[in-house]
Copies of this chain bind each other. A is one copy, B any other.
Amino acid sequence: MSRPRYTDLVASLPATVPFVGPETQERAMGRPFAARLGANENIFGPSPKAIAAMANAAEEIWMYGDPENHDLRHALAAFHTVSPDNIVVGEGIDGLLGYLVRLLIGQGDAVVTSLGAYPTFNYHVAGFGGTLHTVPYLNDHEDLPALIAKAQETQAKLIYFANPDNPMGTWQKGEDIAAQLDQIPDGCLLVLDEAYVELAPEGTEAVYDVEHPKVIRMRTFSKGYGMAGARVGYAMGAKDLIKSFDKIRNHFGMNRASQAAALAALEDQGWLSQTRQKVTEARATIAEIARANGLTALPSATNFVAIDCHRDGDYAKALLAALVARGIFVRMPFVSPQDRCIRLSCGRPEDLEHVAKALPEAIKSLS
């Protein structure tokens, strides 16, 4: 029988689907989650102005979005005090990471990340044939000096580093990161994933010249701005590097309503401040709930909290399953020793009440 002739690389990729959404779990359970706190979505939602912009744009959705993302790029440039040519807008950080990996990584090229860091990045690296080298977390923090040393050792083309980190929620001072940029080996690029930085303490954002040839930073409207379902992210870096995305990106790939909504969200920094406040409160509530159940919340600079269950990964996994069975959508780190934790997104008070009720029951069910 005739078969399509896949590339050798594609033929070698695993057929299992690595990403399972909460909807899949809900369909399997036959009922919706009572609290959706597993995917680090921002349940406080986007600015009402962004929602209105999106709803208004629905009327004109017969038009393609502007392939240059002109208005959004220019607004972002003004916001960050860089040139619009230092910014590329794309289909979420996931989409932009895919483009970046494609630009740099071919069969066998070395890439460095932390063991247990963002799996979608690893998925893209594997998908373009790269060879992933990992460095362990250091006390639940990504270890930038070790990542740089590993890149030197493996002649890596790309280092992935998230600040704040997902899945642990830990963070590092921006100035400490900026101070290390010059130590990145020549010909290696650091992808600094700042997806959660809008929710982090002052000083977490790294400050450096946007034309620095060894770093590209990723930002998103999915987290602080609360628009995960709209798929809008952006990368900032040297003009040459940013321009290279035009060689391969899906030029008409952006949703027109999302472009409008992101612009409105960016302009409503007051809403972002309110979100920051609500996230701070939710972190404190989660920490309290953890403490009341003999567990320990790790300090977090994100809209989620890793809760140390003080046992091994099997225990945390069982606890997670017990919470899922009680209608709480929650996820966990998938590598030891971080997998002693479960990871809970910040919710509204009513969401966290579900957790406060379910957690002691779940713990009891395991004893």
Contacts and interface: CB of A to CB of B under 8 A. Distances in A.
B246 A15 contact: yes
Nearest to A1: B213
Contact of A24 (B5, B70, B91): B70
Contacts of A244: 4, 6, 10, 15
Interface in A207-263: 213-214, 222, 226-231, 240-241, 243-244, 246-248, 250-258, 261
Nearest to A127: B248
B257 A54 contact: yes
Given A13-B248, A17-B251, A61 B68 contact: no
A250 B4 contact: no
A33 to B, nearest CB: 11
A213 B21 CA distance: 30
Interface string A30-60: 0000001001011111100001101101111
A213 B252 contact: no
Contacts of A189: 4
Interface string A339-357: 0000000000000000000
A164 interface: no
Contacts of A52: 58
A23 B70 contact: yes
A92 interface: yes
A3 interface: yes
Interface residues of A, number: 91
Contacts of A253: 91-92, 94-95, 231
Nearest to A12: B247
A157 interface: yes
A302 B154 CA distance: 54
Contact of A2 (B10, B187, B246, B261): B187
Given A23-B68, A66-B23, A6 B58 contact: no
A235 to B, nearest CB: 12
Contact of A41 (B55, B63, B102): B63
A292 interface: no
Contact of A66 (B21, B57, B67, B243): B21
Interface stretch (A103-111, A136-144, A195-203, A276-284): A103-111
Given A8-B106, A253-B231, A187 B261 contact: no
A62 interface: yes
Given A14-B247, A62-B45, A253-B231, A27 B70 contact: yes
Given A6-B244, A92-B252, 7 more contacts: A10-B104, A54-B58, A54-B257, A55-B55, A61-B228, A63-B228, A64-B222
6 contacts: A6-B104, A10-B103, A13-B248, A54-B54, A57-B229, A61-B261
